[in-house]
C-alpha cells in the first residue's frame, strides 16, 4: 500500500476498505514509507493475514485497525508510532508477544483484548508514558492496569497496590487465572474488565472501589461468587450477587452461581446492562414489581430461561435484552412498554406465546426495532391479567 499522509477511516458499511472483498485471502500487507496513519477498521476481519510490515513514517494505528485478524502472528510497531487507538489489535488470536516502542505516548482502551494467545507485552524502558511489569501493560506510574496478556501462564495474579484503575477488557479471556487479588487501592473497574475469565471461581471487590462498569465479571463460566469487602460504601454482595450499596441496582449475577432459579430482591429498581449475561443454568428468574428499568443485554445468553414476566413499571425493552434465550417459550409484557430495542429477542426461536396486558391497538403502537422476528410471529394474548 503506497501513498502519503493519513489513510482514510473505514467502517463495516458502505465505506469499507477497497481490499475488504479479499479479506479472507490476504496473507501479507506491506505499507510503504510516507503513510502516517492506518485508518479505522482498515484491515478489519482480514482473517488470513499473517504478517504486516509497517513503515517508520507511521504515527497512528487507528481504532479496530486489525480487528479480528485472527491469524496475525507478529507485529513490529515502528518507533515513529505515537498513538494506538482503541482495540486496534482486538481478536488477533495468533499474537503471542508485542513490544511497545518508546515513541508511543497514547494508548486507548483495550488495544490487545481478545488476543487469546498473547503471553507478554513489553514496553521500551525509555517510554515516558507506559511500562510493563511481568509482561503486563501499565501506565508509567502503574496507577492504571491497561492489559493483562490473556495467555500469561500464571494461575494467580495480585494486582500491584499502586493501581487505582483497571481498564476496560483488561483481563478479558485470561483463561489461566483461577485467582485474582484486587488491592484496596483500586477505585474504578471498567466495563468488561474481567469478562470471560473462564477459570475464575470467586472475586472480592475491595472497600476502595466506587465505580464498576457493565459486564465487569460477565461470562466467567466458573464464577460462583462476587464478594465485596466490608467498608465499601458503593457496592454490596448478597448471596454472591453484586448490587449497589443500597441494593436498588443489581449489577452482576455470577455465571456459575448454584441454582436454577432466582428471585430478584424487592429493593431492586434497576437491572444493570449485562447483569445476567450467559447465566445459562437459570431456568427461572422472578422480577419483582419494584423494577422500573432493565439495561441492554441484561439476559443475553440465558439459554435455559423458559419464561419471564416483566413488571408493570417497565417502559422499554433494550437492545439484545433476551438475545440468545433459546429456551424461552413465553413472555409476559406489560402495557407500559412503548419500545423494544434492536435484537431484543434475536435467536429466541422457541417463543410461542406473548402475554400482553394491553389491547391489540396498544400493541400496534409499540416501536419494535430490527431483529425481533421471533416476537412478531408468536401468538399474542391481549388484555392478559395474569389469570
Q: What is the pLDDT of residues 325-377, one digit of tens each?
A: 999 999 999 999 999 999 999 999 999 999 999 999 999 999 999 999 999 99
Instruction: Using pLDDT thresholds of 50, 70 and 90, give the confidence band for residue 386.
Output: confident
**What is the dihedral angle through the alpha carbons of 167, 169, 171, 174, rounded to the nearest 10 degrees?**
-170
Instruction: Using pLDDT thresholds of 50, 70 and 90, give the confidence band for residue 193.
Output: very high
Of 297, 338, 348, nearest to 320 by C-alpha is 297
Does 94 have pLDDT greater than 70?
yes
Q: Is 129 exposed, middle or buried (0-12, 13-18, 19+ CB in 10 A)?
A: middle
Of 136, 150, 132, 170, nearest to 95 by C-alpha is 150
User: How far is it, in rounded angstroms, from Cα 136 to Cα 156?
Assistant: 13
Of 11, 8, 147, 25, nearest to 67 by C-alpha is 11
Instruction: Using pLDDT thresholds of 50, 70 and 90, give the confidence band for residue 12.
Output: confident
Q: Measuring CA to CA, how many Å separate 79 from each of 39, 124, 130, 187? A: 18, 10, 14, 33
Q: In this structure, is the dihedral angle defined by the CA atoms of residues 36, 109, 114 and 270, taken in order, positive or negative?
A: negative
Q: For the chain, how long is the longest CA-to-CA vector?
A: 73
Query: How is residue 328 annotated by DSSP?
Result: -
Question: What is the structure's pLDDT at 105?
Answer: 98
Does 269 have pLDDT greater than 90?
yes
Q: What is the pLDDT of residues 202-230, one digit of tens each?
A: 999 999 999 999 999 999 999 999 999 99
Q: Is 243 exposed, middle or buried (0-12, 13-18, 19+ CB in 10 A)?
A: buried
Does 387 have pLDDT greater than 80?
no
Of 146, 182, 176, nearest to 161 by C-alpha is 182
Q: How many of the other CB atoms lie within 10 Å of CB of 271? A: 25
**What is the dihedral angle through the alpha carbons of 20, 23, 29, 33, rounded to the nearest 10 degrees?**
10
Residue linked to cell 459486564? 215
Give 215's contacts (C-beta < 8 A, 6+ positions apart): 191, 192, 195, 252, 273, 274, 277, 297
Which of 11-20, 117-126, 168-177, 278-287 shows the lowest mean pLDDT across its residues?
11-20
**Beta strand 211-212 pairing with 235-238:** unpaired
String of DSSP letters for 70-118: TT-------TT--EE-TTTTTT-TT--EEEE-TT--EE-S-TTTT-TT-
CB 330 within 8 A of CB 356: no
Q: In the chain, how many H helices and how many E strands?
A: 2, 33
User: How far is it, in rounded angstroms, from Cα 361 to Cα 370?
Assistant: 20
Does 150 have pLDDT greater than 80?
yes
String of DSSP letters for 147-211: E--TT-S-SEEE--TT--EE-TTTTTT-TT-SEEE--TT--EE-TTTTTT-TT--EEEE-TT--E
| Residue 82, beta-bridge partner list | none
**Beta strand 235-238 pairing with 241-244:** antiparallel
Average pLDDT of the chain is: 97
Percent of the chain whose pLDDT exceeds 70: 100
Rounded to 5 degrees, φ, ψ at 363 are -60, -40
Q: What is the pLDDT of residues 46-81, one digit of tens each?
A: 999 999 999 999 999 999 999 999 999 989 999 999
Amino acid at each position: 500500500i503506497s501513498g502519503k499522509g493519513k489513510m482514510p477511516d473505514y467502517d463495516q458499511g458502505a465505506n469499507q476498505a477497497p481490499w475488504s472483498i479479499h479479506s479472507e485471502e490476504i496473507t501479507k500487507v506491506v505499507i510503504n514509507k510516507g503513510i502516517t496513519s492506518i485508518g479505522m477498521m482498515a484491515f478489519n476481519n482480514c482473517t488470513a493475514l499473517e504478517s504486516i510490515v509497517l513503515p517508520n513514517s507511521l504515527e497512528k494505528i487507528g481504532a479496530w485497525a486489525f480487528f479480528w485478524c485472527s491469524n496475525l502472528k507478529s507485529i513490529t510497531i515502528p518507533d515513529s508510532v505515537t498513538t494506538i487507538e482503541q482495540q486496534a489489535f482486538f481478536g488477533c488470536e495468533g499474537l503471542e508477544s508485542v513490544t511497545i516502542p518508546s515513541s508511543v505516548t497514547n494508548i486507548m482502551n483495550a488495544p490487545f483484548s481478545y488476543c487469546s494467545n498473547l503471553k507478554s507485552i513489553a514496553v521500551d524502558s525509555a517510554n515516558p508514558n507506559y511500562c510493563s511489569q511481568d509482561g503486563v501493560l501499565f501506565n508509567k506510574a502503574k496507577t492504571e492496569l491497561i492489559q493483562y496478556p490473556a495467555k500469561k501462564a500464571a494461575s494467580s495474579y495480585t494486582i500491584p497496590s499502586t493501581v487505582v484503575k483497571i481498564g476496560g477488557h483488561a483481563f478479558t479471556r485470561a483463561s489461566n487465572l483461577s485467582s485474582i487479588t484486587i488491592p484496596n487501592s483500586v477505585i474504578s473497574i471498567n466495563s468488561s474488565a474481567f469478562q470471560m475469565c473462564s477459570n475464575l471461581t470467586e472475586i472480592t471487590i475491595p472497600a476502595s472501589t466506587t465505580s464498576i462498569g457493565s459486564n465487569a465479571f460477565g461470562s466467567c463460566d466458573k464464577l460462583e461468587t462476587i464478594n465485596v469487602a466490608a467498608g465499601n460504601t458503593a457496592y454490596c454482595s448478597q448471596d454472591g450477587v453484586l448490587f449497589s450499596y443500597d441494593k436498588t441496582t443489581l449489577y452482576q449475577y455470577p455465571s456459575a452461581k448454584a441454582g436454577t432459579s432466582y428471585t430478584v430482591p424487592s429493593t431492586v429498581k434497576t437491572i444493570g446492562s449485562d447483569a445476567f449475561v450467559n447465566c445459562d443454568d437459570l431456568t427461572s428468574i422472578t422480577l419483582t414489581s419494584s423494577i422500573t428499568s432493565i439495561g441492554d443485554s441484561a439476559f443475553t445468553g440465558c439459554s435455559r430461561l423458559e419464561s419471564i414476566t416483566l413488571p408493570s413499571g417497565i417502559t422499554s425493552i433494550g437492545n439484545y435484552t433476551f438475545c440468545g434465550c433459546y429456551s424461552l417459550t413465553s413472555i409476559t409484557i406489560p402495557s407500559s412498554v412503548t419500545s423494544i430495542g434492536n435484537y431484543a429477542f434475536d435467536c429466541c426461536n422457541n417463543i410461542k406465546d406473548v402475554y400482553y396486558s394491553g389491547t391489540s391497538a396498544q400493541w400496534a403502537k409499540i416501536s419494535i426495532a430490527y431483529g425481533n422476528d421471533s416476537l412478531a410471529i408468536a401468538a399474542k394474548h391481549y388484555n392478559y391479567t395474569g389469570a
